[in-house]
């Protein structure tokens, strides 16, 4: 979620962190099933760009309505001032979510084959250490939080 928070800080209303987060969850349903059943390829088709494309569409179509309902539940979207997430924002957020998930997982998991079926090699594996990848995610979350709230504070004063 760290990179998603940074992207939200930069794009503000042109990005939905909720749809991005939903896409992250959807991406890991296949690995969860494999872990629970002990059957299948841990980072299989869902962790390819083709699989991520299908999951982005699913995440966008379902995530729009889930996110808008969630915003109502937590009180951000009100009856007299509803928050409607545009389809452009929904699809952008879902695709950034699924594609970034493939990239980051490919850097640290040897069984990810991002370009399958065109290639079974993973050229991203080991590009950075797992520790550096985790540090990047934490740093991007912290930086994104600072930027987001700084922009919010600055725009409310203006």
The residues spanned by each domain of the chain are 12-124
- Mean pLDDT in the chain? 95
Q: Is the pLDDT of residue 157 over 90?
A: no
HEC-encoded secondary structure of the chain: CHHHHHHHHHHHHHCCHHHHHHHHHHHCHHHHHHHHHCCCCCCCHHHCHHHHHHHHHHHHHHHHHHHHHHHHHCCCCECCECCCCCHHHHHHHHHHHHHHHHHHHHHHCCCCCCCCCCCCCCCCCCCCCHHHHHHHHHHHHHHHHHHHHHHHHHHHHC
Segment 95-134, tens digit of pLDDT:
999 999 999 999 999 999 999 999 999 999 999 999 999 9
Give the model's pLDDT for residue 79.
79
pLDDT tens column, 59-72: 999 999 999 999 99
């Amino acid at each position: 979620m760290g990179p998603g928070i940074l992207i939200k800080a930069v794009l503000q209303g042109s990005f939905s962190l909720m749809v991005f987060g939903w896409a992250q969850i959807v991406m890991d349903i296949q690995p969860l099933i494999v872990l629970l059943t002990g059957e299948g390829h841990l980072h299989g088709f869902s962790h390819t760009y083709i699989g991520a494309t299908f999951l982005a569409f699913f995440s966008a179509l379902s995530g729009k309505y889930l996110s808008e309902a969630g915003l109502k539940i937590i009180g951000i979207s009100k009856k007299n001032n509803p928050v409607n997430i545009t389809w452009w924002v929904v699809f952008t957020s879902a695709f950034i979510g699924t594609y970034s998930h493939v990239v980051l997982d490919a850097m640290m998991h040897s069984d990810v084959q991002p370009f399958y079926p065109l290639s079974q090699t993973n050229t991203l594996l080991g590009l950075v250490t797992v520790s550096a990848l985790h540090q990047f995610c934490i740093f991007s979350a912290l930086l994104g939080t600072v930027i987001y709230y700084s922009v919010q504070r600055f725009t409310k004063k203006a």
